[in-house]
Structure 1
Amino acid sequence: MGHAGLVLSYDASRLARNNSDWHQLLQLCSMFSVLIADSERLYDPGLYHDRLLLGLSGIMSEAELHQIRMRLHTGERQKAARGELRIPLPAGLIYAPAGGIMLNPDAQIQERISLVFDSFMRLGSAKAVVRYLRRADLALPVRPLRGPAPHEIDWRDATDGRVRNILKNPAYAGAYVYGRRCAAPERRSEGVKNPTRAVPREQWEVCIQNAHPAYISWETHMAISDTLADNVGNFKAGHRGMPRKGKALLQGIAMCGSCGRRMALNYSGPDSTHPVYRCRSERATCTGQYCQEVRAPRVEAEVERQLLAALAPDRLAITLATLDAIDADIHGLERQWTLKRERAEYECERARRQYDAVEPENRLVARSLEATWESKLRDVEKIEQDYRRWKKEQTTALSADDRARIAAFGIDLPDLWQRIENSQRKAMLRLVIDKVILDQRRAKGMVWIRIVWQTGAATEHWVMRKTQSYAESAHADVLEQRIREFNGAGMMDARIADALNAEGLRNSLGGMFDHNTVHLLRRRWNIPTVKINGVEHNPLRWSDGSYSIQGAALALGITDQTVFKWLKRGKLHGRQLAKGQPWQVDLTDRQIEALTAPKQCMRRSRKTAS
C-alpha cells in the first residue's frame, strides 16, 4: 500500500469480471490516489466522471460475461436435446468411431455388467451384490474421469458406491440423459470445490429412451430404481426397508387397518425381544395418543401358516426353479472366471511380445519390459490359484439322478422355513405377500388380518389375541356360560378347569386353566361355590352328625394328616360328595374310645431274650 501509482491493463474492464471485485479495486485506487490506464486513456477513480465511467464499464463487462455463459449453456442444452452432446459414458459403453453409442466390445466387461444386474434382480440389495462379487473375487470395470489415465478402463474391487452407480445409471437402459445432477453451492465445504446433488427423475432436462443399445430394458431400470429407493429404511417416506435379521416377520409390510398408515416396529419385554407393531399416527396428527399396537407372535404365526399353505401346491415348481437357479449361478461364475483368466493370459502374452520386440542391447528398455512380463506372469499364477480355490469351495453340481430324486419329493417347505435365517424368511415372504393389514379394534379380543398377495388377491383372517382382562377377551361370554354350567353340575374348580381345557378354551393370556383361575373367575362373576359349607370354614361336625377332618382330628387327638392317612388305609370311613368337597367322617363313641384307648406295650427284657 502506498507504493503504487498506476494500474496498467489492455482494457480496464478486464481487470475484474465481478462487480464486487471491480468496485473494491476502484475503492482502493481512490483511497491511495492510484490511476488506472488502458489502451485508450487514463482514469482517476477519485474524479466523479472517471469513477462513473469505470463503474459502467465494469457493469457492462459483467453482463457480457453472463451473456456469453448463457449462450454456451443454451447451445449445450440444445445439443443435448438432440442427443448429440458427448457426455462421459460408463465403462460398459463407448462412442463408436462412426458416431453414436455402442456396447463395450470387451466381452468380459459386458459379462460383468450383466452379472451385476442379474445378481441384483436375484438378491434384491446392492450390498448383497457387493458381498456376492467379493466372495467370488470379481472386480468391476470403472472409467475414471480424472487421474493419470482418464477415460481408460480400470478394474477395481466391488464397493457399494460402484455397484449403485451401475444399477442407477440410465445409460445402461439405453437412455440418453442430460441433467441428472445439478450444482449445489450450499454443500460447499473444505475439500469439496464443486458439489452437486441428484435431480429427481421427473426433473431431468433430457431423457431420450432407446437412444442406443442397452444392457437392460427401461422398465427393468425403473424397477431397480424403485427397489433401491424402497430398501432405504425411511419410515416417513413409506419405504419398507431391506429385510433384516430381527424376529419381526412383517417388518416394513404391516399396515394399520384403522388409519391406513404403515406400522412401526418396536421390541418390548425385559430383553427387548418381543416384537410389537405400533401405529404412530400421533406424530402426524399431534394428538399424543397412538392409534393401536398389535403383538406379533400370533399374527405372524397365522401369516406364516397362510404363506406355507399357499406355496404347498407349487413346491415341485419351486424345487425345479431353485435347482435351475443354482446351476445358472454356478455356470455364470464359471464364465466370469474364464474371461478373467483369458484377460490375464492375454496381458501376459502382450508383455512377452513387447519384451521380444525390443533390442537386447537396449537394457534400459529391456529391463523395464522384463519386469513387466514377470509381473504379468505372477498375476496369471495368482489368478489360477484363486480359480482352483474357488472351484474347491463350490458345491458339487447335482447329477441327473439327484435332480430327479429331489424333484420327485419337492422341497419340504415347513422344514426349510425353520432352517433359513430371519432375513431370508422376510425376503421369501415379500416375494408372495405385498402387505398385511392389521386391526384389533374390530372385534373384542381378536385381531383382524387382511393379507394382500402379490397377485392382487386379498384374504381375511381372524386370530385371538392376548388380553390383560377378561372384559376384553373374545370368549368371555362363552367362558362364563360354561363355568356356570359346570358349577351347576356340582363340579369343583379343578374339574371345571380340566373340562375347559378339554374343550379348547384358553385363559386371557392364551394358557391353560387351573383351579386358581376358575376360582377367581367365579368370584368375578358371582358364581357360588358348590362346597356344602360354602365359603365358611369346615365345622367340627356336620348337620348329619358326621365329623369333618378337623373335628375327627380333635376328637381322636391326632393331626389332620393322620386322619387322611387312616381314611386312605381304611381305618376310618368317610365320604366326599365330589372331588374337592369336604370330607364327612363317620365316627361313633365306641370307635372314638377304641381309637383313643391307651395301648400297653409289652417289651421283652434283654436278659429274658438271651
Structure 2
Amino acid sequence: MLPPGFCWSEVGKIEIDPDEHVVAAIRLVFAKFTELGSARQVFLWLRPATSKCPSCCAILFYKLIWKTPAYHSVMQILHNPLYAGAYAFGRRAQRTRIVDGRAGKVSGFDKPREEWNVLLRDNHRGYISWQDYEANQKLLLENAHMKKNCARKSARGGRALLTGLMRCGRCGRIKRVFYGMAKGNAHRYQCRGDDAHVGAGLCIGIGEVRIDRAVAWQILEAVSDRAVEAAIFDSDQVETFKRGSYRCR
C-alpha cells in the first residue's frame, strides 16, 4: 500500500498520483513546512485553511479517503522517504514486552537509518529532492523538544518553575505553560489534551502560584544547611561501613 500522493503503474512502478487534487494537497504540506519550519505550525495552518486531507484506508481493500487534518498525518508525510523518491523497507522494528506475565510483540518502533533493511534512492519521481528530505529530517529533529514520550524536557526559560516537568494526571501528557498578557501576570499550566485532532478540546489546567511555591519550598528545605550536613553524614557513614566490611573479609 502506497501513501497518499502515489499509485502503482501498469508495469508495477511507483508513480505520482494523476489526481491533481491529491498532488496539490501533498505539495502544500511540504511548501508550508519550508515556509513555517515546524510540523505543528503546518498542522495548525491546515486546520482552518482546509477541511480535508487525503488519507489511505485499507480495511478490506485500498481506498483513498479525505479526512480532517491530523498532526500525525502531517508527520507521516514529512518523515516518509518515499516522497523524496526513495524506496525504503524495514524502517520500523518490533520489541518484546511482558504484559501480565506473557510476552507480546509490539511494533512501530523507528530504527536508525543505517539499520533499515532496504534504502533505494532515486527509485522513482518524488515530491521533494533527497537533499530537501535530509534537511527536513534535521529540522524535525531539532524541533523535537521531547524525544521520548516518557522523557523529561529541559526548561526553556521563563518564570515557570516546572516547565517541561509537569504531566497531566488524566492523560499523562506534558503540560504547557501559558503566560498572561499583562506584565507580572501569573502563568498557568495547561494540558492541551489530544489536540492532534480537531474538536478534542483541552484537558486539565491549573494555576502556578501555589504549585511553584510548594515545590520551591521543598527545594530550599532539601538544600538547607541541616539537610546538606545530614547528607554528608550519611555519605561518611556509608564509606565507614564499606571499609569495615572490607576488613572483615
Q: TM-score normalized by structure 2?
A: 0.56
C-alpha separation in 2, matches of 1:106 and 1:141:
11
> Amino acid of the residue matched to residue 223 of structure 1?
A
- State the 1:139 CA deviation: 1.6
Q: What SS does the aligned partner of 1:224 have?
A: helix
Please list every run of 5 or more consecutive structure 1 residues that lacks an aligned counterpart in the other structure: 1-87, 242-262, 275-610
Alignment of 1:21-420 (within 5 A): 88-145=1-58, 147-148=59-60, 150-186=61-97, 194-234=106-146, 265-267=156-158, 272=159
- State the 1:117 CA deviation: 0.4
Higher Rg of the two aligned structures: 1
C-alpha separation in 2, matches of 1:116 and 1:101:
20
- State the 1:196 CA deviation: 2.9
**Which residue number corresponds to residue 446 of structure 1?**
none
- Change in Cα spacing, 1:235 to 1:162, as seen in structure 2 (3 Å) is closer
Q: What SS does the aligned partner of 2:134 have?
A: helix
- Change in Cα spacing, 1:135 to 1:219, as seen in structure 2 (3 Å) is same
- Change in Cα spacing, 1:205 to 1:136, as seen in structure 2 (3 Å) is same
Q: What SS does the aligned partner of 2:63 have?
A: coil
Identity of aligned residues (%): 33
Q: Verify the 8 A CA contact 1:187 1:195 in the aligned structure 2.
A: no
Q: Bigger relative contact order, structure 1 or 2, given CA contacts below 8 A and separation 6+?
A: 2
C-alpha separation in 1, matches of 2:107 and 2:98:
6
Q: Write out per-residue CA displacement over residues 240-268 of structure 1, whole angstroms, 9 at most, x where no aligned residue.
A: x9xxxxxxxxxxxxxxxxxxxxx96444x
Alignment of 1:427-442 (within 5 A): none
Q: Verify the 8 A CA contact 1:144 1:153 in the aligned structure 2.
A: yes
Runs of 4+ in 1 over 2 A off after TM superposition: 185-190, 192-196, 263-267
Q: Verify the 8 A CA contact 2:94 2:105 in the aligned structure 1.
A: no
Q: What SS does the aligned partner of 1:105 have?
A: coil
- Change in Cα spacing, 1:122 to 1:264, as seen in structure 2 (3 Å) is same
Q: Verify the 8 A CA contact 1:188 1:194 in the aligned structure 2.
A: no
C-alpha separation in 2, matches of 1:106 and 1:233:
36
C-alpha separation in 1, matches of 2:47 and 2:16:
25
C-alpha separation in 2, matches of 1:160 and 1:217:
23
C-alpha separation in 2, matches of 1:120 and 1:188:
39
Q: What SS does the aligned partner of 1:142 have?
A: strand
Alignment of 1:370-519 (within 5 A): none
C-alpha separation in 2, matches of 1:225 and 1:194:
25
Q: Write out per-residue CA displacement over residues 99-126 of structure 1, whole angstroms, 9 at most, x where no aligned residue.
A: 2110011000000000000011111111
> Amino acid of the residue matched to residue 138 of structure 2?
D
C-alpha separation in 1, matches of 2:35 and 2:117:
32
- State the 1:138 CA deviation: 3.5
Q: Write out per-residue CA displacement over residues 547-585 of structure 1, whole angstroms, 9 at most, x where no aligned residue.
A: xxxxxxxxxxxxxxxxxxxxxxxxxxxxxxxxxxxxxxx
C-alpha separation in 1, matches of 2:113 and 2:16:
24
> Amino acid of the residue matched to residue 206 of structure 1?
V
C-alpha separation in 1, matches of 2:110 and 2:74:
17
C-alpha separation in 2, matches of 1:230 and 1:188:
34
**Which residue number corresponds to residue 247 of structure 2?**
none
C-alpha separation in 2, matches of 1:113 and 1:211:
19
C-alpha separation in 1, matches of 2:93 and 2:138:
22
Q: Verify the 8 A CA contact 1:141 1:156 in the aligned structure 2.
A: yes
- State the 1:203 CA deviation: 1.3
> Amino acid of the residue matched to residue 108 of structure 1?
H
Q: Verify the 8 A CA contact 1:188 1:195 in the aligned structure 2.
A: no
Q: Verify the 8 A CA contact 2:55 2:64 in the aligned structure 1.
A: yes
Q: Verify the 8 A CA contact 2:85 2:122 in the aligned structure 1.
A: yes
Aligned residues: 155
C-alpha separation in 1, matches of 2:30 and 2:120:
21
C-alpha separation in 2, matches of 1:151 and 1:140:
17
- State the 1:234 CA deviation: 4.4
Q: Write out per-residue CA displacement over residues 460-480 of structure 1, whole angstroms, 9 at most, x where no aligned residue.
A: xxxxxxxxxxxxxxxxxxxxx
C-alpha separation in 1, matches of 2:8 and 2:52:
23
The CA RMSD measured in Å over matched residues stands at 2.9
C-alpha separation in 1, matches of 2:43 and 2:156:
28
Relative to total residues, which structure has the larger helix share, 1 or 2?
1
Q: Verify the 8 A CA contact 2:95 2:105 in the aligned structure 1.
A: no
- Change in Cα spacing, 1:203 to 1:264, as seen in structure 2 (3 Å) is same
C-alpha separation in 2, matches of 1:199 and 1:235:
14
- Change in Cα spacing, 1:188 to 1:105, as seen in structure 2 (3 Å) is farther
Q: What SS does the aligned partner of 2:4 have?
A: coil
> Amino acid of the residue matched to residue 198 of structure 1?
D
C-alpha separation in 2, matches of 1:137 and 1:264:
34
Q: What SS does the aligned partner of 2:97 have?
A: helix
Q: TM-score normalized by structure 1?
A: 0.24
Q: Verify the 8 A CA contact 2:57 2:64 in the aligned structure 1.
A: yes
